[in-house]
């Protein structure tokens, strides 16, 4: 059986971005988010955002300015908070665990564009999923690139560009992000680190 372009995209395989189903969904999401992001009632705004996502926990809060492509590839756990202007480019799945707190102007980017100009000119598109563990905190202006997995209890410093995956219980920062501290089971910096 032939895969749909949506199935190929979600699986991280090359897909046709101008597929009618995908264009229709992107247009629908843009239209809905124009209205949703104008709502000043937090409960109404967040319920309407939740309705556009694949799944979320009950305790979900995003400030105004959230943007995403499809919604059906976004999976968010319980006790989630995102500050203003969260961007989730969800050509592939973006999975975020429980008790995650996201600063303002953070971007999760799953699309991958080929290095080959010939392939880019041919509109070849693909992506890699992003996975974030539980109890992760990200400062403002963090960028998470395609294929990154962050473990549990990771802290990401403001302005960081995360280009690779990191294990549990670390503080990372920089461009590209690197480990600056390891944390113990209480969340304290391990001495001598």
Tens digits of residue pLDDT in 122-132: 888 999 999 99
Asked whether the beta carbons of 135 and 115 are under 8 A apart, the reply is no
Question: What CA–CA distance (Å, rounded) separates 107 from 178?
Answer: 18
Asked whether the beta carbons of 123 and 5 are under 8 A apart, the reply is no
The β-bridge partners of 76 are: 96
Given CA atoms 19, 21, 22, 28 in this order, what sign does their dihedral have?
positive
Q: For the chain, what is the radius of gyration of the CA atoms?
A: 17
CA distances (Å), origin 185, targets 73, 75, 151, 168: 32, 27, 14, 10
Q: Tokens in use for 35?
A: 């209205």
Please give the helix or strand (H or E) that residue 101 lies within, else none.
strand 100-102
Residue among 190, 183, 180 at smallest CA distance from 169: 183
Residue numbers of the chain with a pLDDT score lower than 50: none
Asked whether the beta carbons of 162 and 176 are under 8 A apart, the reply is yes
Can you give the pLDDT at residue 193?
62
Which of 113, 141, 181, 182 is labelled catalytic?
Answer: 113
Q: State the pairing for strand pair 177-182/170-174.
A: antiparallel
Asked whether the beta carbons of 71 and 29 are under 8 A apart, the reply is yes
Residue among 106, 26, 112 at smallest CA distance from 72: 26
**33-78 pLDDT, tens per residue?**
999 999 999 999 999 999 999 999 999 999 999 999 999 999 999 9
Catalytic residue list contains 113: yes
Q: What share of the chain has pLDDT > 90, as a percent?
A: 90
């Amino acid at each position: 059986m032939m895969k749909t372009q949506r199935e190929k995209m979600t699986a991280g395989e090359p897909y046709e971005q101008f597929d009618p189903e995908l264009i229709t969904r992107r247009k629908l999401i843009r239209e809905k988010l124009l209205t949703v992001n104008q709502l000043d009632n937090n409960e109404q705004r967040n319920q309407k955002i939740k309705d556009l996502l694949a799944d979320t926990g009950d305790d979900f809060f995003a400030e105004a300015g959230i943007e995403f492509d499809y919604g059906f590839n976004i999976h968010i756990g319980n006790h989630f908070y995102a500050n203003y202007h969260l961007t989730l480019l969800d050509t592939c799945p973006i999975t975020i665990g429980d008790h995650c707190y996201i600063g303002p102007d953070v971007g999760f980017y799953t699309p991958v564009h080929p290095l080959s100009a010939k392939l880019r000119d041919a509109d070849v598109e693909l992506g890699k999923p992003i996975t974030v563990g539980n109890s992760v905190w990200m400062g403002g202006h963090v960028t998470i690139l395609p294929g990154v997995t962050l473990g549990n209890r990771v802290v990401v410093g403001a302005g960081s560009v995360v280009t690779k995956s990191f294990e549990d219980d670390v503080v990372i920062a920089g461009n590209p992000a690197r480990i600056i501290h390891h944390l113990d089971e209480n969340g304290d910096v391990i001495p001598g680190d």
